[in-house]
Amino acid sequence: MENISDATKHFIDLRRHMWIAGIEVDLRRLIWQIAVTGKYISSKIQESNRKLAGLENIYGEEQLALDMSSDQIIKHQLEFSGFVSHYASEERDSIIQIGGGKGKYIVTADPLDGSSLVNTNLAIGTIIAIHRESILTGGDKSLVAAMYITYGPLITMIYSAGNGTHEFVLNREGEYVLSEENITLGERGDIYSIGGLRRDWTQGHLDYIRYLESEGYKLRYSGGFVPDINQILIKKGGIFTYPTLKSHPNGKLRLIFELQPMAFLMEQAGGMATDGRQRILSIQPKALDQRCPVYIGSKYEVEKAKAFLGD
């Protein structure tokens, strides 16, 4: 990739960045189209949040409708892209064929991660993975790109096509402009984000968290996977974990829709992602809705988790 000076990088938009990075034409067009789709989802979120109009709070039914609307927006945009043959979403029970099944890519989506946080005005997001082969293979064998869009005080997008992990911000003109190129995590961070009830943790996981606390790590947990991962990337270190629980021995987060794309992005930023023992991107999915525990973030914290969890 050609060097981009600090003085000019903020004027590099997403399309130019992908061109400079040498990403193949069809893939960069698809990434661009998905990024634009984030604008439509953001508008839908604003439209759906009745607090903005001084009306009642969002209820469960409205949150469900917002999830489904986001899914429909993504499907519609992909269907006419010409690049996508199949689409799988956390909102659907099966993989569906789109675009006549002629595109070269398969796209998976968590259309609106953390939608229950809308009425509390916390950040939420969309998670996307782009595959070239069947998604029911290990991430290393099929994933060619991953991205997420964060809907918060700023709309940001982080993507990787195997050429590093990069952040873009949606500006007032509606363009995604480069904010940070080649995000790189430090070997060790100082924050931890953790899901699940303490009473449901295994002993090894409990001991690990006690170690982090003894080391002075700061707890930062919003309840949304996208904003919590985004914080670790932007702060350049730390760990997110949603572990094996006594009530959920296979974890709660979905391997294909959530963990694979985030693991891809984290590894491209110099971090790691495991289920506590093995690398997330090496796990062979057995089902579309397969769930998995996760330890994802800086290398030190992820390796330390493996030591506490044992074999």
pLDDT at residue 7, as a whole number: 42
Least confident of 5-9, 18-22, 164-168, 289-293: 5-9
Asked whether residue 269 falls in the same domain as residue 147, the answer is no
User: Would you say residue 156 has pLDDT above 80?
Assistant: yes
User: Would you say residue 51 has pLDDT above 60?
Assistant: no
The CATH number assigned to the domain holding 66 equals 3.30.540.10
Of 122, 152, 180, the domain-final residue: 180
Asked whether residue 90 falls in the same domain as residue 213, the answer is no
CA–CA separation, 242 and 195 (whole Å): 5
Could you tell me if residue 1 is inside a domain?
A: no
Could you tell me if residue 146 is inside a domain?
A: yes
Three-state secondary structure call for residue 244: coil
Phi, psi at 22, each rounded to 5°: 75, 25
Asked whether residue 175 falls in the same domain as residue 206, the answer is no
In the DSSP assignment, the letter for residue 246 is S
Residue-number span of the structural domain to which 264 is assigned = 191-309
Asked whether residue 148 falls in the same domain as residue 216, the answer is no
Phi, psi at 104, each rounded to 5°: -90, -10
Whole-number average pLDDT of the chain:
90
- State which amino acid sits at residue 198: R
Q: How many domains in the chain?
A: 2
Could you tell me if residue 3 is inside a domain?
A: no
Of 180, 201, 223, the domain-final residue: 180
Quote the tokens at residue 297. 């973030």
Contacts of 287 (CB under 8 A, 6+ apart): none
CA–CA separation, 30 and 23 (whole Å): 11
Asked whether residue 144 falls in the same domain as residue 264, the answer is no
